[in-house]
Amino acid sequence: MPSATARPALAAALLTTGLLGVGWGAAASPAGAAGGDFQLLDARVAESSGLALSRRHPHTVWTTNDSGDSARLFAVDTRTGRTTGVHQYGAPVRDVEALAITPQGRVLVGDLGDNTTSRSVVRVFWFDEPDLGDTAGGWASWELEYPDGPHDAESLAVDPRSGRVYVVTKGASGAVYALPRVPSRRGVNRLVRVATAPAVATDAVYLADGSALLVRTYTQVVRLDATTFDEVGSAFLPLQRQGETIALAPGGSRLLVGSEGVRSSVRVVDVPSALAAPTTRATAPATGTVTSPPAATSTAPPTAASATTAPSTSARPGSPPVSARQVVWGASASVGLVAFALLSTWLARRAAGGHR
């Protein structure tokens, strides 16, 4: 969630990405929504900041609130929007912003929020995916540090081919960082910057077949090649109050995108098609950089169960050329979304008596 001091920079970044493009989907076409949309009906889910498709329970996603809530997850039925379970994991969370689930069914909770960029260490808490109903359990964690100082981040994703975990930072100069292949529970794990990322990234998820990393912002979803991290497609997203989540939809061939707010809507959208030629972007610094995800390791192989619950996704047919009318439409929609999101956030903060 943006702080008061971060809002000017956030607004500038939103205007840059949404209006000017800066190489991030400037010629994007709208992502079509269809049946399968639902609302998060539980009033306790007021600031959904992470979303992940269950690997154990059909038609189920897990979501979490951000800073200010206790350490708990909500299981939600995607057919009805009703809560089917609440799991209390009891960790000392500070600002939870992301969820991911590994191919083996391990839930990763990204305590990555850092609006003031003052946290020298952030954490990922993890535990086995729980049963539905009211449950409680323990946790383990990894402590993480960036190689170039603190960053605010709201995105956590797991490559289903290798099991490697990635963090995507927020802000005007976002980046993709990789955790060690086998993170340590003792000591601090130093992240490795592997690529630049779309500005103001609010969440990310891999396709089920591991061919692409999808990064969402407040206005768009950007498709990055999983090997090079080059942009290979993008699409505008439906208007949402404060869009902060993305996950695979049940079946794995489409996407769920959600927003903060009580009874907020989760929309079903198409995966952006891969373009014929990727957009080349600036590379990350040479020191400590890896240019592609690591090969699969024995610590995180895909399982038969995960293949059943999250089948592979093939690329959809290529998008038609984008006309000047579509570009103007996208720019207009982006401006409206920026104004709407900033006004909604300001009014919510004022009503609540200040930002947490």
**334 or 186, which is more confident?**
186
Residue 68 is predicted with a pLDDT of 85
Establish if 60 belongs to a structural domain.
yes
Q: Is 255 a residue whose pLDDT tops 50?
A: yes
Q: Is 154 a residue whose pLDDT tops 90?
A: yes
Nearest to 66 by CA among 240, 213, 198, 202: 202
| DSSP state letters, 94-140 | S---EEEE-TT-EEEEEE---TTS--S-EEEEEEEPPPSEEEE---E
Instruction: Report the pLDDT averaged over residues 140-157.
Output: 98
Domain that holds residue 251: 33-320
Establish if 82 belongs to a structural domain.
yes
Residue 201 is predicted with a pLDDT of 99
Establish if 137 belongs to a structural domain.
yes
Instruction: Report the pLDDT averaged over residues 139-164.
Output: 98
Q: Is 75 a residue whose pLDDT tops 90?
A: yes
Establish if 217 belongs to a structural domain.
yes
Q: Tell me if 112 sits within 8 A of 156, measured CB to CB.
A: yes
87-96, 97-106, 162-171, 279-288: lowest mean pLDDT where? 279-288
Tokens of 202: 């609010």
Residue 275 is predicted with a pLDDT of 74
Q: Decide: pTM greater than 0.85.
A: no
Residue 213 is predicted with a pLDDT of 98
Q: Tell me if 87 sits within 8 A of 103, measured CB to CB.
A: no
Q: Indicate the number of domains in the chain.
A: 1
Residue 282 is predicted with a pLDDT of 46
What H or E segment, with its residue span, contains residue 9? Answer: helix 7-15
Q: Is 176 a residue whose pLDDT tops 70?
A: yes
**If you average pLDDT over every residue of the chain, what do you get?**
80
Residue 279 is predicted with a pLDDT of 57
Residue 281 is predicted with a pLDDT of 53
Establish if 94 belongs to a structural domain.
yes
Q: Tell me if 230 sits within 8 A of 279, measured CB to CB.
A: yes
Pairing verdict, β 140-145 and 133-136: unpaired
Q: Tell me if 190 sits within 8 A of 296, measured CB to CB.
A: no
284-288: long-range contacts, CB 8 A cutoff, minimum separation 24: 284/175, 284/176, 284/193, 284/194, 284/195, 284/196, 285/193, 288/147, 288/192, 288/193
Question: Mean pLDDT highest for which of 12-16, 26-30, 145-149, 334-338?
Answer: 145-149
Q: Is 20 a residue whose pLDDT tops 70?
A: no
Establish if 15 belongs to a structural domain.
no
pLDDT tens figures, 306-328: 333 333 333 333 333 333 334 43
Residue 50 is predicted with a pLDDT of 98
Helix segments in 254-356, DSSP class H: 304-309, 324-352
Establish if 244 belongs to a structural domain.
yes
Instruction: Report the pLDDT averaged over residues 119-132.
Output: 99
Q: Is 187 a residue whose pLDDT tops 90?
A: yes
Residue 336 is predicted with a pLDDT of 54
Grade residue 67 by pLDDT with cuts at 50, 70 and 90: confident
Q: Is 293 a residue whose pLDDT tops 50?
A: no
Grade residue 340 by pLDDT with cuts at 50, 70 and 90: low
Tokens of 85: 């379970």
Alpha-carbon span 163 to 160, nearest angstrom:
5
Q: Is 301 a residue whose pLDDT tops 50?
A: no
**230 or 328, which is more confident?**
230
- CATH number, domain of 72, equals 2.120.10
Establish if 249 belongs to a structural domain.
yes
